Amino acid sequence: MSGFVGRSIRETVVSDPEAGPYGIAVGPDDALWVTLVHAGQILRLTVDEKCDTYDLDSPTCGPSTITAGPDGALWFTRFRDHRIGRISVDGHATSVPLPTAGGPFGITTGPDGALWFTQMHTDRIGRITYDGALTEFELPTRGAMPSAITAGPDDALWFTLNQAHAIGRITLDGNVTSYPLPTANAAPVGIAAGVDGALWFVEIGAGQIGSITPDGQLHNFPLPDRACRPHAIVARPEGGCWFTEWGANRVGLIAPDGTIEEHDLPTPSSEPHGITVGPDGAVWTALEIGKVARLTP
């Protein structure tokens, strides 16, 4: 199912192979912002491939996922030193420490204008305002490992529970609901709000794409290669979602009806992680080998 006519993939070297491009998001400046998880850096890449790299205050802080904030800056999780980071579009970076060693991973802007994030080590969902005020909400399940998080169409936040094999929902006042997945050991990771009003997520353990409606109706779509290890997912403006296949070196597209389109990446074992739709309409993917891939829409 690879190599659909009409799409091409270009890879751009953005760092040395050890730096580890991981998360990727579009900034308010219409550039691509990338976390370098192993180097403790944030990278800015324009669509015409001009690249700038900004050092953080710790090379071992583990910047992971990144999102555009409500204040014209980019916000990101620092998984290894348990901080929430912020970087302005001119490269000025600051961070806020968490009260506990929570292992923050997923982050998104909520419907209330705050940043909401997951804490994998402590089974908590965190909330931080643009002026640094922190709130934490404990989840009812221990060892659930909350991972990615996104704002839903229902003014709530939706997140994956990787080790509980479930999808979680939290309201702005902290009320939590959990939806167990029907497939054993599904291990969901990435999650995104689709234009169809459903939440779409990847099951890295089961090799499936799933969707859940705000009222809790679940659907699963097995991928052709169940060992492909899908990792991250982003909504497509025209409908459906793009996703990365970390274990199979591919970028995939799922249509609203479950039809799958897949594309092999040019470099073997490139480890695709974060994915976003760029300001140019193309699909951009962070490759941990030190590259960013662009797939034409």
Eight-state DSSP code of residue 140: S
CA dihedral defined by 123, 219, 186, 120, rounded to 10 degrees?
Answer: -20
Mention every residue, 6+ apart, whose C-beta is less than 8 A from residue 171: 155, 156
Whole-angstrom distance, CA of residue 241 vs CA of residue 194: 7
Catalytic site residue from 82, 165, 263, 273: 273
Whole-number Å distance between alpha carbons of 162 and 144: 6
* Sequence-distant (≥ 6) Cβ neighbours of residue 136 within 8 angstroms: 98, 99, 102, 119, 124, 125, 126, 127
Q: For residue 27, which phi and psi values (nearest 5 degrees)?
A: -90, 170
What φ, ψ does residue 37 adopt, rounded to 5°?
A: -65, -35
Name the token pair of 168.
């979680």
Residues 6+ apart with CB under 8 A from 215: none
Q: Say how far apart CA 104 and CA 82 lie, in whole Å.
A: 6
Angstrom distance (rounded) from CA 22 to CA 35 = 6
Compute how many other C-beta atoms are within 10 angstroms of the C-beta atom of residue 195: 14
Which position has the token pair 């609901």? 177
Q: Does the active-site annotation cover 273?
A: yes
Tokens of 78: 């620092």
Place of tokens 């995104």: 192
Annotated active-site positions, please?
273
